[in-house]
Amino acid sequence: MADMQLTTNNLFIAPALFPRKNIENALNTSTCSDSAVTRRRRKNVSNKLSSASESTTASENRLNRLSLAGTSVYAGSDNLVSDNSSTVAEKQKDQLRARLGLLLDNDTSPDGSNTTTTTSSSSSHNISPQQTLATDSSGLSVDHFGGSQLSVATKDDTYSLCGKLKTCCLTDTNGYEVFPAKSRKSVVRRSNRSAQLGNNSKRNAIYKSSSVPPAIQLALKPLFFEVPLQEPDPPFIGRQWLLRELSNILTGTETPGVLVNGNPGTGKTAFILQLVEYSCFGRRKNASSETDPDGIYYQISTASDRIRALAAHVVGYHFCQADANLTCLVPDFVHSLAAQLCQAPQLAAYRDYLLSEPHLKGILSVKECIADAERVMRMAILEPLTVLKRTGKILAKTCIILVDALCEAEYHRPDHGYTIATFLAKITKFFPSWLKVVATVRTQMLEFVKGLSYTKITLDSWASNDLLQKDMLDYITFRVNNSAEIQNNVAIVKDHNTGQLKFIGHLQTLTKGSMLYAKLILDLIERGQLVIKSTSYKVLPVSLAQIFLLHFNLRFPTSCSFEKAAPILNVCLAALYPLTLNEIYYTICAIKTDKVMAWDEFLQRFRLLDGFLIKRIDNTYMFFHSSFREWLIRRDEGESSKFLCDFRLGHAAIAFRLSRLQAPLDPEQTLELGHHMLKAHIYRNSQGPQSPRDMQAYWISSVTDNISAALGALRNVYSPNLKVSRLMLLAGSSPHYRTEFMGDATILCLAAHEGIVPMVSLLLEFGADVGLTNSQGCTPLILAAMRGHCDVVRLLVAAGSSLGQTDTTQRCALVHAARMGRLNVVKYLLACDWTPRTNSGDVSLNLALQQALIGAASQDHITIMEDLLDMENININQVEITSGDLALTAAARNGCLNTVEILLSRGAKIDSHNKQGFTALGLSVKEGHWAVAEKLLENGADLDESVTSARKTSLMIAAEEGHIELMEMLITRGANLETQDHEGFTALSWACLRGRQTAAKILMDKGCNKNHADNNGRTPLDLAAYQGSANLVQYLLEQGANIEHVDVNGMRPLDRAIACRNIQVVQVFLRRGAKLGPTTWSMAMGKPEILIVLLNKLLEDGNVLYRKNRFQEASHRYQYALRKISNLEILIEKSAIFAQLRTNLLLNLSRCKRKLNVLEESIDLATQAIAQKPSSYEGYYARAKARMDHCDLNDALIDANEAMQKAAQSGVLTDVIDILKRIQDDLLIRISQEKRIQCNCNEETSTESPHEITDL
């Protein structure tokens, strides 16, 4: 492993501080394959890179096939290329090499174009409908082997898994920037992650966007999981018995969950993956149970119906993977689970609930999950689910959450806080009974999950469980029967069937239940790498470790060949998250400054690891199985140490890559660098004058953008990595640094609040100021006391924290501890020497004791209260100046019955008043604490004592608050119904003022005066009208309340309701016949909605009188309304409602005048109505009728014709048209009759004239 060998001779200097000029002079014109994407990423990170961009020539790219034993890796249109024609670009590359501190070999091809290669995965089941890549036009085929399988469903909702932060890595925003992968329809896989070494915020994009629109609106992004597999669709055989047991346990018992344990390779993850695949999240949720084999490997589903039945209950899933640290952290588990629950169709009501409750969206943010995952899980997930199920909105009888490999999460166990296993153990008791968990764990790590009260199923009872043996037999038989290569290899006797059966039986015995062992053995035999030469089968390895050793012996026949691949393994083992091919390459290159590996040489070395590192759909690589990863790191006793990797070298390489390529680092990158630096311990053997610790501190401070911000980043605050935090402080981080959390609290405040004793101790060691506060004035001591962290309190007091320093509420640490019931903290603080600082505003011990007594009494912390009462200088009847309370009034206000009893027995005065003038009885009645009030009355509390400056009695307070049971108890005990307060209000007055109808009814039933007038002459009806309860006003009127009562200001109840714009109350009064006086109209002015009600009432009254033929009275109503509306010209012009009211009043008054035979006035009123609304036929109709009665038949006919025309245009009912036609006919008849009469008269006149003349 010469390429990765670390020596103190060339590595003791901080990597960002190499002499830049010398390196630049040493650079030649050789080029390193570098994609445009890579160059852009690095340019964005480093200010030292040139802003110019390089162009790529696609026509110069060549497809190079990289045969990785089944996985084909190609160079495509997004390959790493350079443009040789661009001298500017070459200069930029030289600058980049100087930044790396590398000497790059010349990798140009003979024709001048750069030969570059990128890799492509063979399959990606959830991203593309194509399960494998078909042969392209160049004849380049892609094999099945080396693929990976994803446990989520569709292309559209998938994003790259690149949130790669260690446990200590943090972010102070939500930290998850989602970016979609580019088109994946071409032969070559492309990814936004390609060569992205610059901005680590991209790495936070571990969450994939939900395909469900509401989930996108909620900004909930589930984690992206991919289970690495060596073939696209491995056969899944057996496990019907396990499905049956799980189904029976989950649906037939009250167990909160099932824990499946087994040794490595027993198929735990494969089983969980099958359930996910057939669930609502998987590719096979709608797959037919019929299978159509096509080739050797296809999905075997002998138990598909049973799998599908159980998978139908799955509403969430989680795969813990040691290679991807975020999958092992509790905050990300909670956030991802919430996003999946929103996607599950069984829980659509939960998604709708979150959309209707905006406050829960903030609670479910990643930031809140990091701060308090338990609170988020309970408040935003479990409690809503329980409520929705109880209300019948969730119909599913059983729902299942799958959690695989709890043991994997232990590799990222935080220094403070929960692992996923301990978190589930803590939170399981809050799960609703219908929500179950199915989890898996290695048998060797059952100790870590002992807190889980789940039903256990083991996969290790190989010797006693025939079902396990049958599953193994079925699997081996299926593989042998479907592989001619295996059959030929094991056919060492004449009778092939006998030979196969013997081999199958022997291999079944060797497996001891390990499906992985059987698969790997059969794969070796199928590929001809393991040849069976005798029926003793001694050639077969007997353990997974021997299989891995055999693989490596075949792949690396010499130590030199292994040394070529070892750096790659070291880097992948050390990485906190899966890396891309470019990232691995740059990481390996960053380890050296004198020479660098050529890209082609790196690809050759990478080929050697084909099948061991599986490419994922986000172009990153992961070990094919966790047991193989562990074999590279450690060996059991007695096993060969050959091929053992030193992943310390991988940590060093990543540290150098971060420092040389990505500096200056942001807070998250800085914490990642600190992790790798400490793991690598590069300066352990340094012989220089500086200590290794100082060198590490100098190194990290030289490459970070803000070392203090890294210490105060979100995850490091709530779940700190202590060793990395110490390194940050050594490097110059400020122990007084103010974060953006909890009111700009200092790091010490947050550590004290969370109770992280080692972090508090560390910060104090580096001189953190214990007196600095957050925006609420809370010191670290106050925050620790409030949360009950007694060990932290001891540290802070020992460091000089002032016991008497107060927050903005004027409460010190002792008071907060007493209020929160932190007995140990209270006892410790009382035992400390209390010496207030001079000129500081610190409270004295006596005042603090009095405040603590009030606080303990108010929260029913009896033990603390009694301990305080036993102390000297405590006055049980003293009013505490800050809160203004006594111990007894504080307890009564909060309904603390036991505390009240103890205080009374200790001598508390029952009728003492607090600063606001309340007695304990008055406060208990005000807050509705019936039991406390009864206890106080039994101990002699004055029933009718007036309290506060308003001089209210307990009955008044109960009536005002609407506490019916308390009112009945007080009345039963003889409370005076007619007692008045300082304004003359009685209990009934207060009930009416607050709209308490039931309380008013009780008081009136007991004989309370319904017409009692207060000091201003207001009756209960006035007060009810002011409050606006129409039902209460209606009740009072029914009971005989005086509707026309006038107070000292000349106002009646109606006027008061109008003044308060209580329209419903006004309508009640009008229906009951309230009179409209001058004050009424005066109050209504400026209130259009009230004016409409009053005018409409007059109109309705007039209409009623008109129908009763009381035309004179009706016309009086109409005229009165018209006089009032005549003063509202502006409203008439602006409001169609007022204009219509005036038109109706004019028309109705016109009709009344016609009935009263005042025809000229009727005609004039109709004319005004026409002028008000020319388009209406009604005005013409009214004027036509009036003119008919006035015998103006021709004018009447004109109006009738106009009315007919307007009516036809407006589309009125046929009945109206018929009436208008009758009027027209009537008028025509009368006109014709008059004409005949006129003619007759003229004839008679002409006959008589000669006679007269004759007579003359």
Please give the full DSSP string across 528-553, using - where no structure is assigned: TSS---STT-TTS-SSHHHHHHHHHH
What residue has token string 């077969």?
540
The pLDDT value given to residue 74: 28
Separation of alpha carbons 843 and 559, rounded Å: 74
Angle value at C-alpha 783, between 877 and 891, nearest 5 degrees? 25
Separation of alpha carbons 301 and 235, rounded Å: 8
Angle value at C-alpha 732, between 731 and 733, nearest 5 degrees? 105
Helical H segments across 913-1029, by residue range = 920-926, 930-938, 954-961, 964-972, 987-993, 997-1005, 1020-1027
| CATH (residue range 553-656) | 1.10.10
What's the average pLDDT block by block, 10 residues per block, for the chain (1256 residues)? 41 38 30 35 35 32 30 30 40 40 35 38 33 30 37 34 35 34 31 39 38 57 90 86 93 92 94 93 73 45 76 95 94 96 94 91 92 95 95 93 95 93 95 95 93 93 89 91 86 68 89 93 90 81 93 92 94 95 94 86 93 92 94 89 93 94 93 94 82 92 93 94 95 94 94 96 96 95 96 96 93 96 96 85 91 95 94 90 92 95 94 93 95 94 89 94 94 93 94 94 93 94 92 93 91 91 91 87 86 88 91 90 79 76 89 91 90 88 89 87 85 83 87 82 55 30
The pLDDT value given to residue 210: 40
Residue 1126, SS3 per DSSP: coil
| CATH (residue range 734-843) | 1.25.40.20
Is beta strand 435-442 parallel, antiparallel or unpaired with respect to 226-228?
unpaired
The pLDDT value given to residue 129: 26
The pLDDT value given to residue 1123: 86
Q: Which CATH number fits domain 240-287+297-458: 3.40.640.10, 2.40.50.100, 3.40.50.300, 3.40.250.10?
A: 3.40.50.300
DSSP 899-922: HHHHHHHTT--TT---TTS--HHH
Q: Provide φ and ψ at 321, rounded to 5°.
A: -130, 120
Backbone Cα Rg of the chain: 45
Measured from the Cβ of residue 1230, the count of other Cβ atoms closer than 10 Å reads 15
Residue ranges of the chain assigned to CATH 1.25.40.10:
1062-1236
Task: Please give the single-letter amino acid code of residue 60.
Answer: E
Residues 324 and 165: beta-carbon distance below 8 Å? no
User: In terms of C-beta density within 10 A (0-12 exposed, 13-18 middle, 19 or more buried), how is residue 265 classed?
Assistant: buried
Residue ranges of the chain assigned to CATH 1.10.10:
553-656
Residue 403, SS3 per DSSP: strand
Its pTM stands at 0.75
Residues 930 and 965: beta-carbon distance below 8 Å? yes
Superfamily of domain 1062-1236: Tetratricopeptide repeat domain (1.25.40.10)
Angle, helices 997-1005 vs 954-961, to 10°: value is 140
Task: Please give the single-letter amino acid code of residue 106.
Answer: N
The pLDDT value given to residue 288: 61
Separation of alpha carbons 393 and 382, rounded Å: 15
Residue ranges of the chain assigned to CATH 3.40.50.300:
240-287+297-458
Residue ranges of the chain assigned to CATH 1.25.40.20:
734-843
Characterize 440-474 residue by residue with b for buried, 16 or more Cβ atoms within 10 angstroms of its Cβ, and e for exposed: bbbeeebebbeebebbebbbbebeeeeebbebbbb
Q: E strands within 425-584?
A: 435-442, 455-458, 579-580
Residue 66, SS3 per DSSP: strand
Separation of alpha carbons 1223 and 1220, rounded Å: 5
